[in-house]
Structure 1
Amino acid sequence: MTFSTIPLLDYSQSLSPSTKPDFLLSLRHAIVNVGFFYLVNHPIDSDVQQRLVKKTPELFDLPLEKKLEIEMINSKHFLGYSRLQAETTARKADYREQFDFATELPAPGPDEPLYHNIRGPNQWPDETAIPGFRQALEDYLAAIDPLADAFQILIAEALDLPPKALQPYFDVPSRHKMKLIKYPPPPQSTAEAATTQGVGPHKDSEFLTFLLQATPHPGLEVQNKAGEWVPAPPVAGSLVVNIGRALEAITGGVCTATTHRVSLAPQNFIDAQGSALGPRFSIPVFQGMSLDLSSENISLEIPAHIRDLVRDEKVRSDAEATFNSMFRGRIGEGTLIHRVTSHQDVGRRWYPEILAWALGEYEPK
């Protein structure tokens, strides 16, 4: 059955033996049938969230020359600042400005596979220009980390797998990527606004995404199996959690990576009283799986009664195609190709041969 609303899960239910079974049933429904859910009563301290929310507009308000000091094109790890419309989704420029950060890790050694460059050190803004920013961001990532670890177990349990069944498929230490995104109000021209995407229809690549909608703007939309766009407006105190292609692939389509987009319709930038809301800010964190993961080291035995929940053959075939695409080598190889095609300026500088191959491989024939 298709869905018309995004389910809401209460994380506190997962902490009590008396309510955890109900939580796991709700989680199973969300990850199998929807691919998205709101998570309330999560353990991330509101002060930690609000410090990052407060610092985010300050970061974007820095003078352009300060932002360009950490422009992504300077990083072979795809970390740093991207100007407005520098990233593409579905071969079309996204009308957003953003900064990419990640779990702070050393650059890989010269003998490591090229795709290990997905990991590496961040480019941090000048501390004197925005005091306290790095601490606010690292505090938030540190708070996300145990929640992400908990969901490795909770998703396994929701699928009636052993609690630790998914843990071998993750790097230690955990690796998460964060985007700080600014969506400016859309162009004034009605015709131009109609063809402007905040971010185009896509599915996330990783295990799970934990999204903090930092401002009250609507605009996030999720596509159900009937092709209809279901709004996912901000819910106070919540994170929006969604499935990535990697989780869909390793579960053979049991877990659903759902297409979503951000609409820049002019009404999404006006409140109920008709006042302008200003820019929309969004803070997703993407929970990464092991870059070295490949089909030969995946041995999930999904119980038959769980597999039987998915009767949509298109979902099954999409999962198989995703699995073959992501795991014909290592997951890191697929991730690197995705980053190169999304950030083509970085690709041209650091990975020109991969970019040329990828554009040739995926051009419509």
Structure 2
Amino acid sequence: MSGSSFTSIPVLDFSQVLSPSKPTFLASLREALVNVGFFYLQNAPISAQTQEQFIEKALGLFELPLEKKVEIEMVNSPHFLGYSRLGAEITALKPDHREQFDFATELPAPGPNEPLYRNVVGPNQWPDETAIPGFREAFDTYLSEVSSLAELFPGLIAEALGLPSTAFDQVFDTPQQHKLKLIKYPPPPEASNESGFQGVGPHKDSGFLTFLLQGTPHHGLEVQNKAGTWIPAPPLPGTLVINIGRSLEALTGGICTATTHRVSLRPENFQDSGRSLGPRFSFPVFQGVSLDLSADKVSLKIPDHILALVKNDKVKSDAEATFNKIFHGSIGEGTFIARVTSHQDVGQRWYPEILAKALKGQKDFLKC
């Protein structure tokens, strides 16, 4: 398989990690990291019951009356956590045709003397427990199990790249914050021009890894190979979809590939043999790196034989540019600006001056 021509997403078996087949897993992981940037993971240590209960409660949350959902509307949170109405988030300069809730590992708000960008971390807004009993318990259990899996992967990636298993420990906060989005993609209006609607526009995730549970059988997730072809990534029962973010790509000098992806709202993605599937539901967990991380705190010595896997000089230069953009200064600044511009209603309420400057394309204005 070559990175320019992959035509399907590889499937990795996590059960190999705890068996004599671990070298086989690491070789498959290295291939996925270098040439695809996406892979399915089967036999992940997340119980089927945990997933089922979480999906049930997540779907129930979207069924609440609007007046209950807006009690925890994101605009009320300086930490960008809570409910976003249909079309409230912007990707690639266009609104996304999706409704969503953003939650994260429960952490306290930053103190008054901490950098402003640390406001991307803070306490959640929780739905009324009487309106949806058991939601928080189901949420906490699911996020806990995914977080445990996520925190194993930096060590596995390090081993796959010929590094000590602790090589990436330096790039994470303790405790780590993991962000979990609950997303509903309704079908576009029948009378609309589908091309005018995007589930989520073409983009690369910004963090370390993303762990996606596709909660319904819809197609729609598509991954772009280096030839520019869109490859479908439909749900496979019993799997998560894992993809590499720009932070991991930058940290590894382009060895690990952050791949462009999107969610398509073509009408056929909401049909199965002529039967309507209703809305598509999707639940990604985003694993971020330390908000205070900067170039002088990063020290990775990737072996030459691993570096040689990237033969394309453009890939190397793009990764270097990404590294310079993300890690010179602090990654928290870029994360913060991305939140402000993606959720402009929150930016307008809590950070209006920063939003105005960001929209004008000004740089280096964030005071720490």
TM-score, reference length from structure 2: 0.96
Contact 2:117 2:332 in 1 (8 A): yes
Q: 1:144 maps to which residue?
A: 146
Residue equivalent to 2:239 = 238
Q: Could you say which residue in structure 2 is the equivalent of 1:117?
A: 119
1:6 aligns with 2:9: yes
For 1:255 and 1:148, the matched residues in 2 are separated by 16
CA distance in 1, matches of 2:314, 2:194: 33
Q: Which residue of 1 aligns with 2:229?
A: 228
Counterpart residue identity of residue 12, structure 1: S
- Alpha-carbon distance, 1:149 to partner: 1.1
1:279-300 Cα offsets, whole Å, 9 max, x none, are: 0000000011111100110011
Please name the residue that 1:270 is paired with. 271
Q: State how far apart, in whole Å, the 1-side matches of 2:313 and 2:68 are.
A: 50
Per-residue deviation, 1:194: 2.0
C-alpha offsets along residues 29-67 of structure 1, whole Å, 9 cap, x if unaligned? 001110000000110011111111001111011111111
Q: In the alignment, does 2:304 pair up with 1:301?
A: no
Q: What letter corresponds to residue 168 of structure 1 in structure 2?
A: Q
Distance apart, 1:326 and its partner CA: 1.1
SS of equivalent to 1:81: strand
Residue identity opposite 1:298 in structure 2: V
- Report the Cα offset of residue 317 of structure 1: 2.3
Task: Return the letter of the residue paired with 1:9.
Answer: L
- Distance across 2 between alignment mates of 1:314 and 1:130: 50
Structure 1 match to 2:366: none
Name the structure 2 match of 1:358.
358
Counterpart amino acid of 1:235? L
After alignment, is 114-123 or 350-359 more displaced? Answer: 350-359
User: SS in structure 2 opposite 1:49?
Assistant: helix
TM-score, L = length of structure 1: 0.97
Does residue 310 (structure 1) correspond to residue 313 (structure 2)? The answer is no
Structure 1 residue 362: deviation in Å?
Answer: 7.1
Letter in 1 for 2:307: R
* Other-structure match for 1:106: 108
Q: Does 1:42 align with 2:41?
A: no
Range with greater deviation from structure 2 (306-315 or 147-156) = 306-315
Work out the percentage of aligned pairs sharing the same amino acid.
68
SS at match of 1:27: helix
1:11 shift after superposition? 0.3
User: 2:179 & 2:330 partners in 1: Cα distance?
Assistant: 19
Q: What code does the residue aligned with 1:181 have?
A: I
Alpha-carbon distance in 2 for matches of 1:328, 1:69: 38
> How many angstroms apart in 1 are the aligned matches of 2:206 and 2:345?
20
Letter in 2 for 1:262: V
Equivalent residue, structure 1, for 2:336: 336
| Residue 250 of structure 2: aligned partner | 249
Deviations 1:293-337 (A, max 9, x none): 001100111111111111122322221221121112111111001
Deviation at 1:196, TM superposition (A): 0.7
2-structure distance, mates of 1:110, 1:58? 37
User: How far, CA to CA, are the matches of 2:180 and 2:325 in structure 1?
Assistant: 24
Q: Does 1:63 align with 2:65?
A: yes
CA apart distance, 1:193: 1.3
- Deviation by residue 1:6-27 (Cα, 9 ceiling, x = unmatched): 00000001111x2000100000
* Separation of aligned partners in 2, 1:217 and 1:312: 35
Structure 2: how far apart are the matches of 1:280 and 1:231? 15
Q: Report the alpha carbon displacement of residue 274 of structure 1 after superposing the two structures with TM.
A: 1.0
Aligned partner of 2:230: which letter? W
Matches within 5 A, 1:15-30: 15-16=18-19, 18-30=20-32
Q: Matched residue of 2:361: which SS?
A: helix
Deviations 1:189-214 (CA, angstroms, capped at 9, x unpaired) = 25x21221000000001100000000
Q: Which AA in structure 2 matches 1:15?
A: L
Distance 2:329 2:353 in 1: 18
**SS, match of residue 206 in structure 1:** coil
Task: Give me the whole-angstrom Cα distance separating, in 1, the residues matched to 2:184 and 2:64.
Answer: 13
| Unpaired stretches in structure 2, ≥5 consecutive residues | 364-368
Q: Aligned equivalents of 2:268 and 2:243: distance in 1?
A: 25
In structure 2, the residue corresponding to 1:129 is in which secondary structure? coil
Provide the C-alpha distance between the structure 2 equivalents of 1:362 and 1:217, rounded to a whole number of angstroms: 40
Greater shift, 280-289 or 315-324, is seen at 315-324
| Structure 1 residue 348, shift from structure 2 partner | 1.0
Query: Is the Cα contact below 8 Å between 2:170 and 2:298 reproduced in 1?
Result: no
Root-mean-square deviation over aligned CA pairs:
1.1
Q: Residues of 1 paired with 2:278 and 2:18: CA distance?
A: 38
Deviations 1:67-90 (A, max 9, x none): 111000000100000000000000
Paired residue total: 360
Q: Does the alignment pair 1:198 with 2:199? A: yes
Tell me, which stretches of 5 or more residues in structure 1 are unaligned? none
